[in-house]
Structure 1
């Protein structure tokens, strides 16, 4: 199989995966609010969700490197299905917290599995395609899937509301329950599809003596030391923490913020789905254009990340001061275009400076930093949003993003990949 063929195969799988994820994106916070949760409660739920991911992220990365990446990924889908089942029946904060822990665990199990499989498989295939362009292609598949899922996720509640009015005695369905049920069913189907698209034979095959829990722990420890000693990886981890804070800040509160703006207008929940879909299409466009922009910047990944993240921070501050649905939509889309433009470069640097035997773990550490940032944002921004308003928390996030981007200026362009001694 050629590099392009492998990229298409992985792209299809990722498109399906993220379509399923997208179904929940336009309505997740609305689901919590429909269960009677306040903004502070939502902050606690999201902190538990991403906190569970953070606690399990690195250990499970070591498991994927040791026991197999496809097996670990398939198990994550099973955990995700269980989390959806609990969320479907949850009607109070304690049960919602249980669902959040399961869904957070599913993300931790998935993190660093198939991405590591793809990088190692890509390097073994014949072809002249650069990994940066391959990642850009995969990102297009991902964002198209997210866009399709978000459109579907925003459309389903309106269909439910029209088909089963609140006053109807024919159903006890919450208007968002169909989203949850569809995610569970689709995840089950994806297990079968993934077994056909992703072949275990292309994953690293550890020797029997290495398949021991102590070796998984040692792998994780080596990767952690490398992540914070390596001149490039350490800068990536630091900026990734703030990236996670900003991402969580906007993901947790854009729906309540927009709901306030459209209150009393003709806009419905479908508008949330449309905006989510447009965001993902903008993200796909930024991924494609990042290849050209990198050429303009003479292949300097750090310059690309610095310039786009600073601009994104400014756009985030502008978003925090919008007062109309249309101006909100425009700033929201511009922000995400800039915010995601450097993601491919970050992924390239992360993979190029990591040895194969700890790749899944290193990707999990990067994801761990995002989730740690998310935990901090859910608690810190949740408190600020509750007492001072969402605009204040977003302005704070924009300033943090601009300040953290300065770290890219102190990062060397390239160093050797190495693993620290355990």
Structure 2
């Protein structure tokens, strides 16, 4: 397999995966509100999701290192399929908590699996290649998939939703869930066919349940490595602050826009905002390579500036009183978020060993989700009892403080 084909397969996989997530993104909070949940209950449900990811993140990452990344990713698609079907029939706070548990399980299983597969395959077929530009190219397709999915997801309640709302027990948002479950079936078989993994002999012979027996050793050695490594530990510290700050945006932007509009009748606006957000992230990923060249691949300096600009963006977003001002600020701050993805990933992957890659990538996601859990609870409480803008002021401060970790990173220069 050539590097170009590998990048193409990884890009297609990421595009399809995040397209399905995008179908749900612009209506998630609206769907939960329509089910009668309060903002604090929604924050609690997001906390259940984050807690599930936190509890399963490291074991599933270790499992991927033990039995293979492709196997674990396919299991994640099955879990996501179960969550989609469950959400169609969930009727109250408790049943929604169960659904979001399965969503968290799917997220934990998928995290660090095919990402690690790509890095290992890239380094196997192109040992001297620069990983950052390859990751940046693939990274473009993640927000593109999310953006297209979000755009369609905003239109579905006004089209297919007019049919599903006539069916007892379903709502105008059920069309989004039906579309996601159908796409999951197609994506499962595409992954089965296209993704070819070169497993070490030890992993080839390991069966699913035998993989769990290897977890204690895999997890212990990986966590010790991550905590003790000076660069990795700084990146993990910054990741938890990112999780706290961004969770406030993901949780509260929809009710804030609903308040600015006066209703949620025009769901296409939520789709456009979501699509713009993801396209802005794609623009950030596209600009990463030229900007990295301009700064001579000084990744820590790039990451510091982008994180500070994100914090400023969230602060400005909290001040907006009209949709016309909200949209460009909302999109703009995610340009900086997209720009930071590949430099951060390049530093992280450069300092972790191949045999622990899935576990340590899952450890990074574990830390981000821990921040997301803290952020969801804090932002949900603050928005419920004070206001959404005050919650965002708090998120902006956390993002700025998290960026200071990059000051202490050693220079990461690439030719």
Q: TM-score, normalised by structure 1?
A: 0.93
In structure 2, the partner of 1:256 is: 255
For 2:263 and 2:121, how far apart are their aligned partners in 1? 53
Task: Identify the structure with the greater helix proportion.
Answer: 2
Unaligned runs of 5+ in 2: none
Is the CA contact (8 Å cut-off) linking 1:3 and 1:129 kept in structure 2?
Answer: no
Is the CA contact (8 Å cut-off) linking 2:320 and 2:326 kept in structure 1?
Answer: yes
In structure 2, the partner of 1:190 is: 187
Unaligned runs of 5+ in 1: 416-422
Alignment root-mean-square deviation, CA: 1.9
SS of the residue 2:21 aligns to = helix
Once the 2 structures are TM-superposed, how far is the Cα of residue 297 of structure 1 from its aligned partner?
1.2
- Work out whether 1:373 is the aligned partner of 2:371: yes
For 1:79 and 1:160, how far apart are their aligned partners in 2? 25
**Residues 297-348 of structure 1, C-alpha deviation per residue, up to 9 Å, x if partnerless?**
1111100000011011001100011010111101100111112311111111
Once the 2 structures are TM-superposed, how far is the Cα of residue 290 of structure 1 from its aligned partner?
1.2
Once the 2 structures are TM-superposed, how far is the Cα of residue 161 of structure 1 from its aligned partner?
4.9
After TM superposition, list the pairs within 5 Å mapping 1:230-309 onto structure 2: 230-263=229-262, 268-309=266-307
Is the CA contact (8 Å cut-off) linking 1:117 and 1:203 kept in structure 2?
Answer: no
- Alignment counterpart, residue 180 of structure 1, candidates 177, 190, 200: 177
* Change in 2 beyond 3 A, CA 1:226/1:326: same
Is the CA contact (8 Å cut-off) linking 2:280 and 2:338 kept in structure 1?
Answer: no
**Residues 371-398 of structure 1, C-alpha deviation per residue, up to 9 Å, x if partnerless?**
1011001111111111110100111110
* Change in 2 beyond 3 A, CA 1:198/1:264: closer
Once the 2 structures are TM-superposed, how far is the Cα of residue 213 of structure 1 from its aligned partner?
3.1
In structure 1, the partner of 2:351 is: 353
Is the CA contact (8 Å cut-off) linking 2:246 and 2:395 kept in structure 1?
Answer: no
After TM superposition, list the pairs within 5 Å mapping 1:12-411 onto structure 2: 12-126=12-126, 129-163=129-163, 173-200=170-197, 202-206=198-202, 208=205, 212-263=211-262, 268-411=266-409
* Change in 2 beyond 3 A, CA 1:203/1:346: farther
Aligned residues: 410
Once the 2 structures are TM-superposed, how far is the Cα of residue 125 of structure 1 from its aligned partner?
1.6
For 2:376 and 2:345, how far apart are their aligned partners in 1? 25
**Residues 86-134 of structure 1, C-alpha deviation per residue, up to 9 Å, x if partnerless?**
1110110110000010111110011110000000000112487521111
For 1:241 and 1:181, how far apart are their aligned partners in 2? 34
* Change in 2 beyond 3 A, CA 1:89/1:172: closer
Once the 2 structures are TM-superposed, how far is the Cα of residue 205 of structure 1 from its aligned partner?
4.0
Once the 2 structures are TM-superposed, how far is the Cα of residue 223 of structure 1 from its aligned partner?
1.0
Structure 1 window deviating more from structure 2 (120-129 vs 150-159): it is 120-129
